[in-house]
Structure 1
Amino acid sequence: MAGKFEIYNDKAGEFRFRLKAANGQTILASEGYKAKSGAENGIESVKKNAADPACFEKKTSSSGKPYFVVKAGNREVIGASEMYESDAACENGIKSVMTNAPGASVEDQTA
């Protein structure tokens, strides 16, 4: 199974997307969007930018754990990873997004 994007509604009724790796683990999650088209555009932006290492930015959470964000061409954040236990695990997460996102299918779970 290849990676896939899922579009879903959060508890507030906003549209979000997540990228799941072939093993089913979520490797990237979006912010909330008022319209489904916002989530769909976010997915296309991740697919387009995932091959560019410059679109990834590693960060450290307030609890000291590493994570990363993916930025669009306009430098806006379009997705964030989970918190990792190590820098190496964070690097593996980035590689996973770079591998899975470009060819990932999209599953709409909002219907």
Structure 2
Amino acid sequence: NCPTMPNLDRQDYVILNSVSNVSKAIDAFHGYGRIHCLLDNDEAGRNAYRELEREFAGCIRDFSDNYNGHKDLNDYLCGKRQNLTVNPPPRTIVKPKKKGLGL
């Protein structure tokens, strides 16, 4: 439930954990008008996509180009996160002012 992105409420997700599970997931995909694949950027991922494309031609899309140069979506997301924490912006240290009169 995400009020700022209501379209997410009408989406289902199937996480395969391995491309060897593609054949097991095919039955779950029937009945969907659109299938977005975020598979690995390797030969096994491309083969899995081709297997799904044969079954669901016209309603399936490969999204692996969105994280091209990374092994998979997780590698891409972790890489983004690391880039943010490895080079944090420089901090300015402000010394507190002394209170009272110096006698």
TM-score where L is the length of structure 2: 0.24
Higher helix share: 2
Higher strand share: 1
Tell me: higher relative CO, structure 1 or 2? Use CA pairs within 8 A at least 6 residues apart.
1
Greater Rg over alpha carbons, structure: 2
